[in-house]
Amino acid sequence: MYLIVGLGNPTREYEHTRHNAGFDAVDMLADRLNISVKEKKHKGLCGKGMLGAEKVILLKPQTYMNLSGESVRAAADFYKIDHEHIIVMYDDIDLDVGKLRVRAKGSAGGHNGIKNIIAHLGTQEFPRVRIGVGAKPDRMDLADYVLGRFPQVEQSVMEDAFKEAAEAAAAIVEDGIDAAMNRFNRKK
């Protein structure tokens, strides 16, 4: 069984912002797998289904970004999921718009949602799919940038990135983390 988490902030106010890239990627995967992610459970919205032969739980924490670990830990404990089977998809300002990076483990890299998940799980060793949202412009507040929406010229690029992130998460489940990294971390 796998827990696939998309990070973001709840409420309409934050829909489709840079910080909600993880929510958008989980929604793409949910559409692909025909899973409804509407059940209120584990301090989040969840849905259950199958990805090939594996059971998957899709989770969108509703705790706000900085407390995402509360929701992830609650779901992981409830379903008894090992940290190697918790896949987290989230926005990354260190990657160009639309670029992906699949990792087996790593530090928070300044991302407060990941920092909180690491604190709650007690490990950095869980797979993640980082979705590039681009670096913030000089003299712009980081919070304003990540809570802003993508300009129209970036929207189709990000739509493709969300689909690719969903494919990457599926590849981790079906083919393993090494195969997924080889496939999705190639230079284009």
What span, in angstroms and rounded, lies between the C-alpha atoms of 147 and 66? 13
Cite the active site residues: 19
The residue with tokens 């990657």 is: 95
Q: Are 166 and 127 in contact (CB under 8 A)?
A: no
Identify the structural domains of the chain with CATH numbers, from first to last: 2-184 (3.40.50.1470)
Average pLDDT over the chain reads 97
Span 82-125, pLDDT tens digits? 999 999 999 999 999 999 999 999 999 999 999 999 999 999 99
Residue % of the chain over a pLDDT of 90: 98
Structure tokens at 12: 């309409």
- Tell if the pTM clears 0.95, that is, is over it: yes
Report the C-alpha gap between 128 and 177 in whole angstroms.
9
Query: What confidence tens digit (pLDDT) does each residue in 26-65 have?
Result: 999 999 999 999 999 999 999 999 999 999 999 999 999 9
pLDDT, position 27: 98
How much is the pLDDT for 111?
Answer: 96
For 39, the enclosing helix (H) or strand (E) is strand 39-41
Check whether 186 has a pLDDT greater than 90: no
Which residues touch 94 (CB under 8 Å, ≥6 apart)? 109, 132, 135
